Structure formats: structure tokens, C-alpha cells
Amino acid sequence: MLLCENPLARLRGFQKLTSTENALQTWLNTLQIKTNKETTVPLPEALNRILTEDLIATENLPRFDKSAVDGYAVKAKDTLGASQFKPALLQLTTSDTVNTAEAKQVWTGNAIPKGADAVVMLENTQKRNEQIEVWTQLAPSENVSKTGEDIKKGEVAVKAGTRLNPYHLGLLAALGNSKVKVADKPKIAIIATGNELAEIGSKPAENQIYESNKIILSAMCRELGAEPLDMGIAKDNITEITEKLKKALLKADAAITTGGTSVGGLDLVPDAVNNIGKPGVIVHGVAMRPAMPTALAAVDGKALIILSGNPVAAVIGFEVFARPLICKMLGMPNTEQRPTVKAALTRKVATALGRKTFVRVKVIQKNGEYYAEPVSARGSGAISTMTKANGFVIVPENREGITENEQVTVHLFGDLEQAN
């Protein structure tokens, strides 16, 4: 395992911090994650699920030559030289076949009748009893959607590993699929640890706070298409944590804990993880800010992510480690990226050399330009900074900050218009 020497990592136990990239890679390599099992669901339920195999078109789309406009199906050669001053005169027919000097009315989407090879638009014609004047010359195939023009039989319509959006579902429907194979939702157990935590809905003691990490991380799991399992709160007690972890790994495909990972107190959760199986903790201490005390572990092939108890650190730790894990479990070829915007930083931000720093910002739009305003916060405990912000800027390890007006790339996690 490669370690990144870090002059600012002065906390005991963290003299050496692993870079985020090395931490992630070392951990994923140890895990050797297999894609989750697949399940067949009706098409409407496949929204935002991940396709597990290339979907091949079993027929052409369109299935037949069809009209792209409202008008008359004709033989293109019958319109040779036609203009408003010298219209071509064609006989209307209602038969299945269009013969020489004939035209048949068609609406958008109708099959092109036998014998016809082009469609003249309504507005380029004039009806005269049982005949039409055609005012324009047509090329063969003009205004015709040709068989297979959209997708050809045998082509890959949607690739394996794609998150299905409404348009993918539409394409699958157009190809006649009423069901589709998607990845099972990975089950992620979530455990909060800490004597100071009270469940929402309960009455906290005077020195307790409401637990909020489980609900945040559960929602982040759901957004990615995983199924969170709420395993409750464990006291700062190695036996209780160990029991919860064992239960979690029986029920779930992976587990996330919050709290009990800092060097400050005992390393309760890392110690508990090392108790329950091999290889245990793989990385502890990452060259990032916040979320430095994050630990990554594996037990019997199942992934564990040991996050800080501070909500913002937990969120960033999830972003950097749980997101790629879940995407891999879902069989996605790459980690799904958040949308980004480029914006000018409204004031300078100082960051620590040797740490990849995640700066929360609020992006605002002014006269068509984007500006990113750093959201100040002391420490990483203030969850309101995540609701005030709508994105984060990643400052690399080799920078000591960002200057005012510098163009930065913002990874958006909130609505651009509605940061509040």
C-alpha cells in the first residue's frame, strides 16, 4: 500500500495518510467486488435502475418505412420538374398500392404504401377533387423515415451498466420490451455509534444530540440505487459495536458506520472490525479534508466504510468511497459523476497542502455567468452548510488554496436555483 507522507498530519496515529486515490484503489483491489445479482422488472419499474446486459434490438426501428410528415405518398419520379408554376397532377387512390401518377394520403407515422417512395408535405399540394397538384420535386425517400433508421436489428440499443433514464425506457418500449433485466439493489447496512446520539422521535438527554448521519447516508444510498438498512445506534462500547457489525454483515452486502474512528478516543470501530474477520481495516487515515479519519475495511469479501461522526465529513467520505463502491456493485463501468459547472470563486479559500480539500460552495448565476461562493463553517459538524451549499470544489493536494476569481469546477449536489 502506497502512503503519502503528509507534513500537516500531526494527529497521533495519522503521521502517514493515504491519498484518496490510493486508499480507494487498494481497498477495491482487496475487495474484488462482483456485480450484484440481477432481477427482471416490468419496464416502468426500471427507471434509474442499472441495465445488466447489452440490450440488442430484436427488430428494426422503425419497423417499416413510415411517413415523417402529413401529406401524400407518391412515386418521387412522378414529381420530376414539378413547381408551383408547373404542378404535377396525381390521381388520389385509397388502395394499398400507389401506381404511377397516383398519390395516397398519409399522416405522420403511417406506413408508406407499396409502390410509393416519397411523401409530399400537405402544404406543397393543392387538392382538386380526386386529384392533387404537387408543387415541388421530391427525391426518393424524401420525408420518409426508413426502416431501421432509428436503430437497426442486431444493434446494441442500450449498453450494459447504463442507468436507465426515461428515454432509455422509451427506446426499450419502442423495441417491444415489456420487461428488462436490472442489477439487484445492493443492501447497505448503516450503523451510527456514539453515546451522545439519540434517535429522532426519542427524548434526548441534556448532553445528547439527535442522530442525523443514518438518514443522510440512507438517502444518499437510495439516490444511487442501493437499499439502506438502518441498524440503529451503538453505544461507544466495543462489544455492542462488534455485535451490530456482525448482524449487519449477515443481512447486508456492505456496511457503513459513523463515529468512533478518530484517533482521539479509542479506535472503537476499527478495532471492532478487526475483531470480526479478515483482512479487517485496510486503510485508516486519508489525505483529505474533511473526512481525514475515514477507514476502509473488508471482512470476508464484504466492504466496510468507517466514517467520521461529523455529518459533513461523513457525507464527503461517502462521496469519495461509498459512491464508487456502490456503482461497482451495480455493474456500472465507471463511477457515476455529479454534474459540474465552471464558476468563478467569489473569495479566496485557504487549504492545507497535502490534503485533498472539499470546499462547500453555493453556485449562483449572475448575468449568465456562474459564481461559486464558499460556505463558511467552523469544523465539519454543521450540516446546515450542506443545505446552504449546492456543490463542492475539490482542491488538489498540491495547492495551498484557491485565489479569488479563479475558475473552479463545482460538483453539484443541490439545485442551482434553490440554494437556501
User: Within positions 93 to 122, which residues make up the interface with a copy of itself, using CB under 8 A?
Assistant: 107-111, 122
> Residues, the chain, total?
420
Using CB under 8 A, which residues numbered 336 to 365 contact a copy of itself?
336-337, 339-342
Closer by beta carbon to a copy of itself, 12 or else 278: 12
CA distance linking residue 7 with residue 329, whole number of Å: 35
Using CB under 8 A, which residues numbered 24 to 53 contact a copy of itself?
43-44, 47
201-210: list long-range contacts, CB under 8 Å, 24+ apart: none
Q: Map grid coordinates 464527503 to a residue.
A: 316
Among 150, 240, 373, 406, binds a copy of itself (CB under 8 A): 150
Q: Map grid coordinates 502506497 to a residue.
A: 2
Binding status of residue 70 toward a copy of itself by CB under 8 A: yes
* Least CB distance to a copy of itself at residue 97 (A): 14
Q: Map grid coordinates 426518393 to a residue.
A: 140
Binding status of residue 6 toward a copy of itself by CB under 8 A: no
CA distance linking residue 344 with residue 81, whole number of Å: 59
Binding status of residue 412 toward a copy of itself by CB under 8 A: yes
Listed in sequence order, the DSSP H helices in 231-278 are 238-251, 268-276
Applying CB under 8 A, the site for a copy of itself has a residue count of 99
* Best CA proximity match to 314, nearest among 263, 374, 386: 386
Among 73, 132, 171, 272, binds a copy of itself (CB under 8 A): 171
Using CB under 8 A, which residues numbered 370 to 399 contact a copy of itself?
378-379, 381-384, 386-387
Give φ, ψ of 241 to 5 degrees. Answer: -65, -45
State the virtual CA torsion across 186, 216, 338, 9 in degrees, nearest 10: -100
Yes or no: say if 299 and 196 are a contact pair by the CB < 8 Å rule.
no
* Least CB distance to a copy of itself at residue 226 (A): 13
Using CB under 8 A, which residues numbered 221 to 280 contact a copy of itself?
222-223, 230, 262-265
Helix H or strand E segment including 213:
helix 213-224
CA distance linking residue 124 with residue 142, whole number of Å: 13
Applying CB under 8 A, which part among 82-90, 143-151, 347-355, 396-404 lies near a copy of itself? 143-151
Among 81, 129, 167, 367, binds a copy of itself (CB under 8 A): 167
Applying CB under 8 A, which part among 83-91, 162-170, 242-250, 294-302 lies near a copy of itself? 162-170
- The C-alpha R_g of the chain, in whole angstroms, comes to 30
Binding status of residue 366 toward a copy of itself by CB under 8 A: no
Using CB under 8 A, which residues numbered 306 to 335 contact a copy of itself?
309-311, 315, 333-334
* Least CB distance to a copy of itself at residue 163 (A): 7
* Least CB distance to a copy of itself at residue 30 (A): 25
Among 168, 185, 244, 289, binds a copy of itself (CB under 8 A): 168
Q: How many CB atoms lie within 10 A of CB 391?
A: 25
Closer by beta carbon to a copy of itself, 5 or else 123: 123
Applying CB under 8 A, which part among 151-159, 243-251, 283-291, 344-352 lies near a copy of itself? 151-159
Binding status of residue 61 toward a copy of itself by CB under 8 A: yes
Helix H or strand E segment including 345:
strand 340-345
Among 30, 136, 212, 346, binds a copy of itself (CB under 8 A): 212
One-letter identity of residue 312: V
Closer by beta carbon to a copy of itself, 124 or else 276: 124
State the virtual CA torsion across 53, 56, 58, 60 in degrees, nearest 10: 150
Among 3, 41, 101, 174, binds a copy of itself (CB under 8 A): 174
State the virtual CA torsion across 146, 152, 153, 159 in degrees, nearest 10: -150
